[in-house]
Structure 1
């Protein structure tokens, strides 16, 4: 257990099925009591079933059917009493194309994992470090360059400010790193800015932090892939024209890798991250060795003419641009449940390693760039210039560039870990669609992964894969989440007041102040460069989240269990059809639309009559002649059920029938109309254009009517 009592639950497939509260459980028991009275008063063996539901009577394999080869009865085994356990996933696709796609899916993503395997789909520290630090560590490849690209606007002489600005950024990294290190044990089930800000600053702050994080993660993918492709084209200029298709292809590869599951994806991305760290350590070691040979004398920077005056605003812009080197520092606190037990302790250790590596690599690169007198120039990254300067001959430059390109491309994997998890927590609170609670067959949040990939690819294409155009958007979302998270922790410590709470509050306050300063600077100074997109997008996203929650709140209110009304013997008005919860409250009318008398319609009529409820058949005719003809056929059949004929002179079918059923229900609101639709099931998709699909259109239209139950009686065409 952690030091704090952060809200949350471990991320498992059961989170998709929330438990009932005490009030609903009480209502459920009272409703069950009413059911018990009703079943006691009914004659007959209500509990007897015509088959054994445990399938124990089936000792031989059934004859192959459409799905028999894929989902035989033997796939079940006995579990708890009155429970069966599926021993393998069932593929219900009966077509050759569907089976082929299923096999391809298994090849690309691997076989399904059991729900019990979620405990084993965790990462140990040596795997979690490269997986969750790839974004943070890779940002040193473009963070120093982003800072120098602003300073160089004031001329080559202004590049000397990179050292003091770099020192301030190192201080910021340490302060924010320590702040998140405190956050992890306080919120051991996942300490994302959304949860921390929401718990301590209110729902609005939590949603704003979530919006900032979502922008951060989307741009993490876009910026990382853009920077990686730029690193590739810096070494292979012939590929410059393929920047956009290469970037989209890389996003698709990342999606496929992460759909295979956390542990598999982690194993894929371990080596590139460690290779990048080793490559940078080689650059730093050789670079400082060369600098020591000349007494650490800094080479003069190139004579670059000034495009802007050197002022406070430009310095602040450079500082905020360099601060993008911190993007991804919050990844560990978001992904605490992905670690092996003890989760929070392993996560905190991993974060400490990450921050130490970030500080060392960032500071070393900034100092080496200064010592070698390098400045940003179009067509080649600063890291590429530095590696080319230190390794002018031999294969080392190519190896450094390859490792850099690979880590930049794979740095987006951090977002692929955290974005679906953020949507999971939001969906659990009702701020995002519930589909994001679902774990796929590889125990990955596939819906969240696809949403991230599509959005990031769209942003990448719109901006043409240019890193410089994306970074102004990047900083605002990142530091909005940082600021709200650290401010939330200040409130957290002030409320809890545990051991050393003043010291912890001060650390988080420093992190909040520095992050807020960068947020304000980036939003104001880079507003015209594209930051306005995030400034506008965050409130719109917050509004969207609130609308989603409002929908789920109304849904939960409509579906919540309530104490049952008075028993039927008590006086009172009849309940509306959708307010009936016990068998004795329901009054039926079965309606069967009949277009023509054939095997499908007669089977539907027979099924309706077997229910033993009042039944009405309805026929729509385009004119009186057709109505008379059908009534003659109905009498020849025997006129066993009441028939109502509707003449539709404009030949419409769906509209008149839906309005008729609505009028029936309006005349008796306590009636449940069960509409039984005969349906011919087609064997092949290419047969569908040969049929009108009236049955499907009718079902879609009738589902919109309150108090109407729609079911179908299928008739399958022979092979």
Structure 2
């Protein structure tokens, strides 16, 4: 049953393209009304000199003089609203058009914002997309566990059965716990949201950091394991494992940039084919084992490299637990399902856990019955396939499907990592650019960030699965533990029907996940888990810093009620009351001084000066001269023009221009802090891009120099060179 408290802390916001533009709060709207009541424009409003509805261009492209933007057609929408259609951002240069066409071929044409409702997954598509990581882990999870046990010799391999039984119990407990989480948080039940809502901001960010590391490692490990499966069947490709892995990551990125539905169509067949191939392997393998009365074959003698102790057993258990990575994927992606979202997500998760238990337990027991041991040159699944299918096409089919699902298992991370960043950006803990949906309604920035980070990790570790596995379990089980602990608090707060049973189930999941977390952190600390242990708090600190910046930005940009009464105007000889000009929100509160920097008297500078004077505000012209002689020449030219505007000349004997001008403007602002200083810079705009390096670009350097100065507005008056 869906919980009535699903939208705790306002977290039920739908995942739509409008999430980049959050609405004003009621108190902000009230403040906006109070500001509007006191709004007094400086001049009486006049009629607009053009028709803003663009009725002249209705139904055909608006004119573009320079051809840098493709034509955009517009048609009427709601009253006072135009709707732009067409490739609005397609550049017009020949090279840029070629790149854009290539982009359209790879990614497909852009989708309208309204199509987000149709970019949802049905259960048959969601199952392979979201389970590829979870199910593919059975290809390396049992092997990771046995690789540790075999260090104590062949006799220790018998411990694989009780350890596998404990892992199956853990899988079922965590799976049932997440099945409860989904209806309680139907708008996205990720560990970040659950932990933040019930345990606090810092635990939620810790869960997010663990998940982010897990997703990055999912891509790196899955691709490494997939390439290893390929090289097991084709040893000649072994020297090229790193380039092959990078190529696979790029293909996955391109497929996901095409959108959720397209990615699902690409990845459906390999997942189902892998499941069918492994089930066939289990049926034939168990049939052969039944023929000999399920008597286990003795493993080949393996010398012991370590003593069999508790620490080694714990390391083996933690290594086998990587088979559970991806079990939280469905709870993160609930909004991506078709209605009823939470019900379809919960059903999909149930099927995923059932398939995981069958495949993991079946393969572990079959490996034990056949007496197989890990070998560096060939995976255990490959050995099992050769033994079970000694002839015919079945072994190549098994290896092909295994390689495909391992290579495509990273798609689960590509689905969930950007969505996690979306929720974090919505709360101000990640850059807001991760709220943006790309052309195909996918979170393009998050996808690119994941692909880039995973590529760096993959290349840094040389594409070796065994080097990446020790880093794997800590992050994901940290998220499991915090999520399930958060659900325990949730049920205690909202004591609905059957809450004790639900609380108990989530408590079991939290305790078991916590034990695995501690085991992995301690047992694998020296093998590389220390990287995750150190990275999580550093990421949490980074998220807090990002949130602090956005909090300061919100306070700076928040609407403040205007003070009662008109602003006091200082009389003669009375110093103005200092105050930041940027705090003014009413036209009658703004006092202007317009400054026009002038290098020489030509059409560009005179156009900028004419524009400044047309504003009807006090205007000052400033010229920077390298020596007194040039200053006098400019002053004579100014008198010849008519001396219509006050001129101030700065002599810069060291020939610097931007520095002295910026310091002068800063001094002006300090002398009159109540003024809004508007700097109007004439700017020559050449027709062709290749001509830009021929110009100094002083206007851009001046803008950069003044950007940090409050109460200063820098604008440019472009003069276009058409020849």
TM-score normalised to structure 2 length: 0.97
Structure 2 counterparts to residues 123-522 of structure 1, below 5 A:
123-522=121-520
In structure 1, distance between residues paired with 2:522 and 2:43? 77
CA deviations 1:570-624 (Å, max 9, x no partner) are 6894752111001000001111111111221111111111111111111111111
CA contact (8 A) 1:196 1:489 kept: yes
CA contact (8 A) 1:4 1:188 kept: no
Unmatched 5+ residue regions in structure 2? Answer: 571-576
Query: Which residue is 1:2 aligned to?
Result: 2
Compute the displacement of 1:638 (Å): 1.7
Q: Does 1:54 align with 2:53?
A: yes
Q: Does 1:527 align with 2:525?
A: yes
Query: Which residue is 1:31 aligned to?
Result: 35
CA deviations 1:46-69 (Å, max 9, x no partner) are 151001111124467666632388
In structure 2, distance between residues paired with 1:555 and 1:653? 32
SS at match of 1:589: strand
In structure 1, distance between residues paired with 2:4 and 2:298? 52
Compute the displacement of 1:685 (Å): 3.0
SS at match of 2:38: helix
CA contact (8 A) 2:132 2:411 kept: yes
Over 3 Å counting, the alpha-carbon distance change for 1:318 and 1:122 in structure 2 is: same
Over 3 Å counting, the alpha-carbon distance change for 1:511 and 1:232 in structure 2 is: same
CA contact (8 A) 2:226 2:404 kept: yes
In structure 1, distance between residues paired with 2:231 and 2:669? 68
CA deviations 1:221-261 (Å, max 9, x no partner) are 00000000010111111111111111111111111111111
Query: Which residue is 1:625 aligned to?
Result: 629
Over 3 Å counting, the alpha-carbon distance change for 1:43 and 1:141 in structure 2 is: closer
SS at match of 1:674: strand
In structure 2, distance between residues paired with 1:322 and 1:63? 64
Query: Which residue is 1:640 aligned to?
Result: 644
Q: Does 1:704 align with 2:708?
A: yes
**RMSD over aligned Cα, in angstroms?**
1.5
CA deviations 1:71-122 (Å, max 9, x no partner) are 24xx111111100111223135232112221111111111111111110000
Compute the displacement of 1:4 (Å): 4.2
Query: Which residue is 1:718 aligned to?
Result: 722
Q: Does 1:594 align with 2:598?
A: yes
CA contact (8 A) 2:137 2:324 kept: yes
CA contact (8 A) 1:589 1:614 kept: yes
Over 3 Å counting, the alpha-carbon distance change for 1:441 and 1:62 in structure 2 is: closer
CA contact (8 A) 2:69 2:92 kept: no
Q: Does 1:662 align with 2:662?
A: no
Over 3 Å counting, the alpha-carbon distance change for 1:159 and 1:69 in structure 2 is: closer
Q: Does 1:66 align with 2:66?
A: yes
Compute the displacement of 1:674 (Å): 0.8
CA deviations 1:179-201 (Å, max 9, x no partner) are 00000000000011001011111
CA deviations 1:382-408 (Å, max 9, x no partner) are 001100110111221111001000000
In structure 2, distance between residues paired with 1:146 and 1:27? 60
CA contact (8 A) 2:682 2:699 kept: yes
Q: Does 1:616 align with 2:614?
A: no
In structure 2, distance between residues paired with 1:324 and 1:101? 41
Query: Which residue is 2:574 aligned to?
Result: none
CA contact (8 A) 1:67 1:92 kept: no
Query: Which residue is 1:566 aligned to?
Result: 564
TM-score normalised to structure 1 length: 0.97
CA contact (8 A) 2:123 2:337 kept: yes
Over 3 Å counting, the alpha-carbon distance change for 1:567 and 1:98 in structure 2 is: farther
In structure 1, distance between residues paired with 2:626 and 2:620? 20
Q: Does 1:581 align with 2:585?
A: yes
Q: More displaced, 194-203 or 89-98?
A: 89-98
Compute the displacement of 1:448 (Å): 0.4
CA deviations 1:446-477 (Å, max 9, x no partner) are 01001101000000011001111111111101
Compute the displacement of 1:43 (Å): 6.1
CA contact (8 A) 1:71 1:91 kept: no
In structure 2, distance between residues paired with 1:697 and 1:177? 58
CA deviations 1:249-284 (Å, max 9, x no partner) are 111111111111111111111011111111101111
Q: Does 1:120 align with 2:118?
A: yes
Unmatched 5+ residue regions in structure 1? Answer: none
